[in-house]
Homo-oligomer: A and B are copies of this chain.
Amino acid sequence: MVVGVLGGGQLARMLALDGYPLGLEFVVLDPAEGVCSASVSDQLQGDYDDEMLLAELANKADVVTYEFENVPAAAVEFLSGKVPVYPPPQALATAQDRLNEKTMFRELDIATPQFAAVNSLAELEQAMDQVGWPAVIKTRTQGYDGKGQAVLRQVEDLAPAWESFGGVPAIVEAFVPFEREVSIIAVRSRSGEMVCYPLTENTHREGILRLSIARPGDAMQALAEEYAQRLLSKLDYVGVLALELFQAGDELLANEFAPRVHNTGHWTQDGAETSQFENHLRAVLGLPLGATDTIGYTAMVNLIGDFPAVDDVLVNTHSHLHLYGKEPRAGRKVGHINLRAQSRNALEAELKLILALADE
């Protein structure tokens, strides 16, 4: 079986590494040269809207998936006519538009911060009455890792923020004074089988995920699973979905979901019975899903911009290094370290060393 992937970055690379043992082969479509997945997959090099290449991809692959949510909807629609594409196009369309996404949360009784659609400065001013201060304005489409966002703290912030977006449709959301950010990685297969991983506690820095800690047995697990399963069912979803949530008191407020394998699920490579990558492949191929139980206590530290000497990482025998084959560059995710310990206390202690190492 051949799996086609739109995008040849580190997520495609890690899908392939976990897919070969299942007897799979991989072909990616990506416009860039020297992509992360190049050594472990075939590549069709060209634009995502090149119908010749899309047809070639559909022809080579038994199933197609994608590793990022800004895939042109037209590309997915075109492919869908020729080959099974998962996650399904409606999930992609919903995730690509923050207003549709938040509206779906509301429809499914998934708690979410107050929000309002904004198409002009006047609407923004009005919306603030409804949403309250402070708030965050975000473009409805595009934007990731903190880009395409601005914080609104006072009336004077409104006009500059609106203008900086160049008048594109936006959404304004209440700024939630959250205690922690968590995510849940959920999987649904073609047969409708669903599994969830233990909750992940996440820390961002400058808008980029820095640290994820798996929290098996977390008090919020059941609620997070309930929310994720509502989404999976509603979207007739197939594959891995990551739902990001803010915790405020006993409440979980849905921030956004990603219709793909997700950085906050990388810890599953070393910390769970089955990795999110393998489970995504199992789901889109209609195979039985793998167990999501944890192995030990695991945290993931992103390597951003550059990575430490490999020796220094591996000398800690509980570290598992995952490099993406990328050249270092400021702000770029070049790899991650999964740290797996025997106890929660041991994890906390060793994590300090790994965080210091990643910061060097």
Contact = CB atoms under 8 A, between A and B. Distances in A.
Given A40-B40, A282-B314, A21 B291 contact: no
A25 interface: yes
Nearest to A39: B25
B25 A20 contact: no
Given A20-B40, A273-B340, 16 more contacts: A20-B323, A20-B325, A21-B320, A21-B321, A21-B322, A22-B310, A22-B323, A23-B323, A23-B325, A25-B325, A39-B41, A273-B317, A287-B310, A288-B314, A288-B317, A295-B296
A315 interface: yes
Nearest to A195: B317
Contacts of A314: 282, 287-288, 290
A228 B314 CA distance: 24
| Number of identical monomers bound together in the oligomeric complex | 2
A220 interface: no
A16 to B, nearest CB: 8
Contacts of A320: 21
B311 A288 contact: yes
A273 B318 contact: yes
A17 interface: yes
A129 B321 CA distance: 56
A138 interface: no
A13 interface: yes
Nearest to A326: B23
Contacts of A88: none
List 9 A-B pairs, minimum CB-CB distance, nearest first.
A23-B323, A291-B317, A21-B322, A288-B315, A288-B314, A40-B40, A287-B314, A17-B17, A295-B295
Interface string A245-263: 0000000000000000000
